Structure 1
Amino acid sequence: MANIRPLRRPPAAPAPAGKAVRRPVPAFTGPTRDYTYDGTFEGLLTVLFTVYDSKAAPNSIQPEAAVQGGLFAAPAPVETSETLAARVWEGLLNTMDAEARTRLYHVFLSEDADREMLVFRYVDLALRSPQDIAENYANADVRRVQRLAQQMFREKHRMEAFVRFEKTTDELFHATIEPDMDVLPLIAAHFTTRYADQRWLIYDRRRHYGLYYDLTRTDVVQFETATAPRSTGLSATVLDEREPLFKVLWQAYFDHVNIPERKNLKLHRRHMPLRYWKYLSEKQPRETRFQPIANKRPPTDGTLRLPAAPQPEE
C-alpha cells in the first residue's frame, strides 16, 4: 500500500513588474525562541515570516520530529501556512535575484545539520545589506550556501546519469537510489520529460519515499512500513522475464566500449563514486562473461567462415 500526494515544489513567484522598494527591517526586540516546524520547506518559510512578524530572533529552528529542547527553553511551534510561505518566497526577490533564492531551496534539500539557521542568517544578511550579497564570499554563511548549492548540483547531475531502471511484470520501470542529499524534487522534471511514454517509480531508500509517474503526472509516493522496499533490488518473481537479458546486454555494451589500455581507476571513481555502484547494472557481477564477436572482421581471403559448432558431450 502506498500513499500518493502531488509533488511539492517551492512556491512559484510572478515576474516582478519593476524594481521593488526595500522596507526597513525591524530590529529584534523580543526574547529569542526555539522555533519548531513540520519539516517542509513551506514550514521553514512560515517560520521566517513569524520571526520578523514577532520580532523574536531564533535561538534554533528544528523540525518537530527531531526537536532537542534546551534546559530552560520551551519550543515555539509554528503552524505551516502556504499563503505566508508564498508571500515570503515572493518577497525574497526584493533582496536577492532568482538564482540566489533557488540556492536557499537547495540548501534546505541538502539536509545539512544547520540548514534552517543557515537559511535564516543568509536571509537576514540580505535584508539588512544595502547591496547584493550573492558574491560576498568574505562572509562564512555566503560561502557555505554557495558550497552546499554546488554539492546539490553535482548530486542532481549524478542521479540523472546513474539511475538504472528494472522492468516489472506489470510494465512498471523501477529504480532504487540512495543519494547523500534529497534530490528527488530536483530530478522529477528530468525523468518526467525523458521517460514520458512509460510508467516508472524512483524510490529513495534512505528517505523512504519516491517519485511515481503514471503517464499523466508525477507524484510523491510514501510506502507503509510493512510494505516499503528494504533491499537494493526487486525480487525476481516481480521482474519481467526479459529483464536478465536486458542486464546482460547492458553489461556487454559497457564491456564492448571499454578500452583496457586507457584504464584509469582513480579518474573513474572520481566521476562515478563507489557508493553508487551497488545500484548500477554495469557494476554487478557478470552472470555471463562477455565474449568478443568471433567473425567481427571479414576474412582476408574472401571466404565466409562460420563459428565452429559445439561438439556433443560423450
Structure 2
Amino acid sequence: MKPIRRPAATPTPAAPRRAGAPGLTGAPLDYTYDGTFEGLLTVLFSIYESKSPPNSVQPEGTAQTGLFAQPAHRETDEALAARVWEGLLRTMDNEARTRLYHVFLSEDADRELLIFRYVDLALRSPVDVAENYANADVRRVQRLAQMMFREKHRMEAFVRFEKTSDELFHATIEPDMDVLPLIAAHFTKRYADQRWLIYDRRRHYGLYYDLTRTDIVQFENPTGRKATDISATVLDEREPLFKHLWQAYFDHVNIPERRNLKLHRRHMPLRYWKYLSEKQPREVRFEPIKNKQAVVGKEVSAGQKLLPPQ
C-alpha cells in the first residue's frame, strides 16, 4: 500500500510591514493651532516634517506654556490636512480614523496629545492597533468614542423644537460634547420639509437648515436671558397648545405603578430636562378622560338607560 502524499501547505505570506514614521529626534516643541480639526491635522504633519515631538498641542487662544517657552504656531493648511486625513487610512481602517475625529469633538483636555500618540503608535506598529486594548491610549480613544456615540444618540432623541411666527423650528441644546457636526445629517434627513435651527448654547453656534442645505451659523454670547427663553413675541401663537399636547401625551402614556426614577434618570439624565417640554411645569394639569354620566333630572331619550349617580 502506497503512502498517501499530501500536498505541501502553501506558506501564508507575511503581512507587509509598514514603512513607519520618521524618528522624532528634534527638540520638543509647544505647538499651537487655531482650534479646528484641520488645524490639528496640519500640526501632525509639521511634527513629522520637522521631526520635533510635541511637548504640548493647544488651541492658540488658550495655550499655556512655560515661562521661557516660545509656542510654535502652525497655520491651518487645508491641503496638508486633507493629505494627512487620507494618509491615515494606510495605517488604520476608516472606523478607527473616524474615532479620532470623535475624540477631537469630545473636547477632552488631553485630546490633541492623545490623537498624536494614537497616530504615532499606528505608524510604528506592523499590525492594526485598533484592538490593542493593552495600550492605555487605545483604551482611552475607544472610551471617548463610545461616550460621543451616546451623547449623539441622546441629542437625536431629546431635541425639542419650538415653532416661531415665521415658520422656523428652533431648539436649544447644551451637550457635554460638541455633537452638532455628528447630528446634522440625522436632522437634515428627518426634517427635510421644514426650516429649523439647533443652537448649542454652550459653544455659541448652531445648525441652520433652509430647505435646501444645512449650514453652520455663529452666534454672539447672549447675556441677560435664561437658557431656554425665547421671546414670546416671536413664537407661533399655537406653540403653547403644542407644548400642552406634548405634555398631555407624556402624562397619558405614563404608568404610575411602574415608576422607576433611577432607571428614568439613567436613560434621560437630569442635565437634559431643562430643554424638554415634558419636564417643564404644567400650566394646565392633565386630566384623564372620564366616562360620561347621565345627569339626573334631565330628559332621557327612548331606549337610553339612566346610570345611577356615583
| TM, length-normalised to structure 1 | 0.87
List gaps (5 residues or longer) in structure 1.
1-18, 307-314
Q: What are the within-5 Å matches in structure 2 for residues 1-314 of structure 1?
A: 22-225=18-221, 231-295=227-291, 303=304
Percent same amino acid at aligned positions?
81
Bigger RCO (CA 8 Å, 6+ sep): 1
Q: 1:229: how far off?
A: 6.9
1:305 and 1:134 mapped to 2: Cα distance?
A: 75
Q: 1:227: how far off?
A: 8.3
Q: 1:97: how far off?
A: 0.5
Q: 1:23: how far off?
A: 2.7
Question: Looking at CA atoms only, which structure, 1 or 2, has the larger radius of gyration?
Answer: 2
Q: 1:268 to 1:115 in 2, by over 3 A?
A: same
Give the aligned CA root-mean-square deviation in angstroms. 2.2
1:152 and 1:235 mapped to 2: Cα distance?
A: 32
| TM, length-normalised to structure 2 | 0.88
Residues 222-264 of structure 1, C-alpha deviations (whole Å, 9 max, x = no match): 1234689753131111110000000000000010111111100
Q: 1:286: how far off?
A: 0.4
Residue 266 of structure 1 aligns to a residue whose secondary structure is helix
Q: 1:20 to 1:235 in 2, by over 3 A?
A: farther
Residue 86 of structure 2 aligns to a residue whose secondary structure is helix
CA contact (8 A) 2:18 2:125 kept: no
2:259 and 2:65 mapped to 1: Cα distance?
A: 53
Q: 1:25: how far off?
A: 1.5
2:126 and 2:292 mapped to 1: Cα distance?
A: 69
2:277 and 2:159 mapped to 1: Cα distance?
A: 10
Residue 32 of structure 2 aligns to a residue whose secondary structure is strand
List gaps (5 residues or longer) in structure 2.
1-14, 294-302
